[in-house]
Chain A
Amino acid sequence: MTPSTKKNPIDLLFAVLTAVSSLSIILLIAGILVVLVFESSLAIHKFGVFKFIFTIDWDPVRKIFGAASTLYGTMVTTVLSMLIAIPVAVGIAVFITEIAPDFLKGPIGVTIELLAAIPSIIYGMWGLFTLAPIMANYIEPALQATLGKLPLFSILFKGTPMGIDLLTASVILSIMIIPFTASISRDAFNLTPEVVKESAYALGATKWEVVKNVVIPYSKLGVFGGCVLSMGRAIGETMAVAFVLGNNHQITSSLLNAAATITVSLANEFTEADSDIYLSSLFYLALVLFVLSFITLFIAKLFLIRAERKYSR
Chain B
Amino acid sequence: MDNVIRRRTLGARLGRATLYAVLLLAALFYLLPLAVMLVTSVKPLAEITPGTLLSLPREPTLVPWAKAWGEACTGMRCEGIGVYFFNSIAIVVPAVLISTAIGALNGYALTKWRFKGSELLFALMLFGCFIPFQVVLLPMAQTLGWLGLSSSRAGLILVHVIFGIAFTTLFFRNFYVAVPTELVSAAKLDGAGFFRIFWRILLPVSAPIIVVSVIWQFTQIWNDFLFGVAFSAHNTQPVTVALNNLVNTSTGAREYNVDMAAAMIAALPTLIVYVLAGKYFVRGLTAGSVKG
Same complex:
no
Interface residues, chain B, with chain A CB atoms under 8 Å away: none
